[in-house]
Chains A and B, each alone.
Chain A
């Protein structure tokens, strides 16, 4: 069935390094992808999104790359800071013909940033 999965459950980096979190998806019909950050005990927070007609989008210290050929999504965080420590989820959007929008979430990657 359709799924969004992550390659690495935990990623440990040093403060100041660049982090790359990967995600694979299986539904080639998905047209919208989102990255969320979830800190312990809090709800997921929107980070950045990308549409399927793009292959790269940049935000503040974050970049999302989309490779539709291999159905791969990645989140790059530049100059990682201790405050970036959290679980990161990718999600793909399925827009049903009724207009209802349903996200399929990956299992998450925990990012640990050491000072």
Chain B
């Protein structure tokens, strides 16, 4: 069966510090991968998606970047965090020939102070 992992689960970082959040998927190959951000009490905002290694598309201009160094690894990064980067970050995946259902990881809660 397939599983998706995210770490860390929670993170408190000072403004201006770097960020690296990791997402890995097990039990599948060549998935579509997604990063979302969710503000408290709000919906999901798509940040990045990837259809393959090294292929990253950005949905909104922001202080963040994403990379996919391996088939089942998706990383969200920032060189200098802003207060507005606080939120709940979710990674999701779809099988390459899947029906369209996205399966989400447990999320990382980021607080920038």
* Known contacts A41-B109, A98-B51, A101-B94: A107-B42 contact under CB 8 Å: yes
Q: Interface residues of B toward A: which range? A: 20 to 34
Measured between alpha carbons, how far is A46 from B104 in the docked complex, in Å? 9
A102 beta carbon closer than 8 Å to chain B: yes
Which residue of the partner chain, among B42, B96, B103, B107, contacts A42 with CB atoms under 8 Å?
B107
Count of CB-CB pairs between chains A and B under 8 Å: 53
Report yes or no: A43 in contact with B98, Cβ–Cβ below 8 A: no
Question: Which residues of A lie under 8 Å from residue B100 when comparing CB positions?
Answer: 32, 34, 49, 93, 95, 101, 103
> What per-residue 1/0 map shows which CB atoms of A96-115 lie under 8 Å from chain B?
00111111011110000000
Report yes or no: B107 in contact with A100, Cβ–Cβ below 8 A: no
Measured between alpha carbons, how far is A1 from B93 in the docked complex, in Å? 25
Report yes or no: B49 in contact with A108, Cβ–Cβ below 8 A: no
Report yes or no: B106 in contact with A32, Cβ–Cβ below 8 A: no
CB nearest to B55 among chain A residues: A100
Q: Shortest distance in angstroms between B65's beta carbon and chain A's nearest beta carbon?
A: 19
* Known contacts A32-B99, A95-B100, A101-B100: A89-B32 contact under CB 8 Å: no
